[in-house]
Amino acid sequence: MSKVLMEQNISLDIRALLTHLDKSGLLRKVPGQLALDYEAAWHIQQAQPYPVALDTPNGKVVANLLAKRENLSLVLGGGSDAEIYTRVARAMENPTPIRILEKPSLKETSVDLYKLPILKFFEKDAGRYITSGIFIAKDPETGAVNASIHRALVLDEENLAVRLVPRHLYQIHRKAEARGQNLPAAILIGAPPIMYLAAAMSPPFGVYEAEVANTLVNGALRGTDSFLEGVALPIPTEIIITGEFVAGKRVDEGPFVDILGTYDIVRKEPVFHVESISVRQDYLYYTILPSGYEHLLLMGFPREVAIYTVASKTAPGIKKVRLTPGGGGWLHAVISMEKTIEGDPKNVIMAAFAAHPSLKSVVVVDTDIDPDNPQDVEWALATRMQPDEDVIIIRGARGSSLDPSADQETLQTSKIGIDATRPLHKNPELFRKAKIPHPE
């Protein structure tokens, strides 16, 4: 098999990715049968950032598959950060329709959510949560299809409470409710890995994320329209749940741990009624640990693409964008660039805030600083930044609801940007770290 075909297979089937990670010696396997409440989650957390496979009374569970940036890059076909950002941005502008397969290899099983290995993660969670569900639905007015990842609380055998943030699926759901209609939808668990990256993105409304994923794999993605009328659902997928959002029905959803590792508030959220559950033979249940490395990377990476796209138009030489783990993959960014003109880093800082309004702090560093290494970044702050010249403070800006220090009603916050790049008028040797030569 050619390298390109191998990479596409890894991108197109969660089992192929798991096999590759296992053969590479990266997959952790937990012996014994683990309880669905807490025990399985504890082992997933301990295994980070390595992928993990474990067994439960209800079946096999896998997690942390995209918890390392190297795995994400593998699914995207590799390349430099800048190349990957550019490829993803272009894919969102050039979606590719999915070829339909007539007979997907899934078998319908009993409609009972309690029979799936759905986990309870943290001590104050409201219950067991589906965290890797890609919800796919069609706009009742325009026919536009949307795919996005949402957490779903198990209420009973046939019903879920689904957290809908005010984005595309939220808008589609509201349109259906305004018509007094239930909204049909499908939930994909264990979809092709490339689909998880696409579903975490935010292309313009009307662009189907699965078609963005298809562009990223050069048209190799396949789908089925057997589960949701007129919609190509990406396959192979381990589990497909179909049903509908019940118009006008709301229940309490939460508490639940979000990306910062703190509990989100309890809200009234829509109810999804399950009508069918179909599974692959010997299916694997894929889960995402809330506030874990995988959660942070899946949420943060699309915003890195957005920041890169805007910032690279503001100043040349952007190399890497990192939404840092310490900032929940959401609130803090480090950007590396080749600075050629003083002032460009400040323009990049402003561009980053514009591209990702939830950002609270941005640090810009030179390319000799590793943005993935907090000690390296701190060293740049210590040696290349003057507070009275290189710090930008913005007051009264809109921030993130995830930031507990912000005004939770208005979302107003203050923001900080720091230019930690080397002053161009000074001798570069003053800022260069000493190296020990490698022994011959």
> Which two structure tokens, joined as six digits, stand for 306?
């957005």
The rounded distance, in Å, linking the Cα atoms of 261 and 276 is: 33
Query: Alpha helix (H) ranges present in 328-395?
Result: 344-355, 374-384, 387-390
* Helix or strand run (H / E) with residue 107: strand 107-109
| pLDDT above 70: residue 2 | no
- Beta bridge partners, 120, equal 37
The rounded distance, in Å, linking the Cα atoms of 348 and 165 is: 28
Cβ atoms of residues 134 and 195 within 8 Å? yes
Place of tokens 């879920």: 160
Helical axes 293-314 vs 344-355, angle rounded to 10°: 130
> Which two structure tokens, joined as six digits, stand for 9?
């297979």
Q: How confident is the model at residue 7 (pLDDT cuts 50, 70, 90)?
A: low
Chain centroid to CA 306: 13
Taking residues 19-26, report their average pLDDT.
Answer: 95
> Which two structure tokens, joined as six digits, stand for 321?
């964008």
> Which residues are known to be catalytic?
258
Q: What is the pLDDT of residue 1?
A: 34
pLDDT tens-digit map of 119-147? 999 999 999 999 999 999 999 999 999 99
Q: What is the pLDDT of residue 8?
A: 57
Q: What is the pLDDT of residue 6?
A: 47
Taking residues 257-280, report their average pLDDT.
Answer: 95
DSSP calls for 310-335: HHHHHSS-EEEEEE-GGGTTTSEEEE
| pLDDT above 50: residue 332 | yes
| pLDDT above 60: residue 157 | yes
The rounded distance, in Å, linking the Cα atoms of 66 and 297 is: 8
pLDDT tens-digit map of 52-80? 999 999 999 999 999 999 999 999 999 99
pLDDT tens-digit map of 273-286? 999 999 999 999 99
The rounded distance, in Å, linking the Cα atoms of 394 and 21 is: 44
Residues 6+ apart with CB under 8 A from 54: 29, 30, 34, 40, 43, 44, 60, 61, 62
Cβ atoms of residues 43 and 55 within 8 Å? no
Cβ atoms of residues 172 and 139 within 8 Å? yes
The rounded distance, in Å, linking the Cα atoms of 240 and 277 is: 6
Q: What is the pLDDT of residue 298?
A: 95
In this structure, of 35-44, 101-110, 276-285, the range with the lowest mean pLDDT score is: 101-110
User: Rounded to the nearest 10 degrees, how much is the dihedral formed by the CA atoms of 136, 290, 48, 260?
Assistant: 120
The rounded distance, in Å, linking the Cα atoms of 17 and 68 is: 13
pLDDT tens-digit map of 219-235? 999 999 999 999 999 99
Residues 6+ apart with CB under 8 A from 4: none
> Which two structure tokens, joined as six digits, stand for 411?
């979302």
Q: How confident is the model at residue 102 (pLDDT cuts 50, 70, 90)?
A: low
| pLDDT above 60: residue 3 | no
In this structure, of 3-7, 36-40, 190-194, 246-250, the range with the lowest mean pLDDT score is: 3-7
Q: What is the pLDDT of residue 401?
A: 83
The rounded distance, in Å, linking the Cα atoms of 403 and 260 is: 8
Angle, vertex CA 230, rays to CA 227 and CA 234, nearest 5: 55
pLDDT tens-digit map of 380-411? 999 999 999 999 999 999 998 888 888 877 88
Residue 308 or 4, more confident: 308
pTM of this prediction exceeds 0.75 = yes
- Beta bridge partners, 29, equal 53
Q: What is the pLDDT of residue 411?
A: 83
Pick the closest to residue 75 from 180, 183, 185, 220 (CA basis): 220
Over pLDDT 90: what percentage of the chain?
Answer: 89
Place of tokens 């003053």: 430
Q: What is the pLDDT of residue 407?
A: 83
The rounded distance, in Å, linking the Cα atoms of 167 and 169 is: 6
Computed over every residue of the chain, the mean pLDDT equals 94
Provide the residue type at 312 as one letter.
S
Q: How confident is the model at residue 197 (pLDDT cuts 50, 70, 90)?
A: very high
Q: What is the pLDDT of residue 104?
A: 77
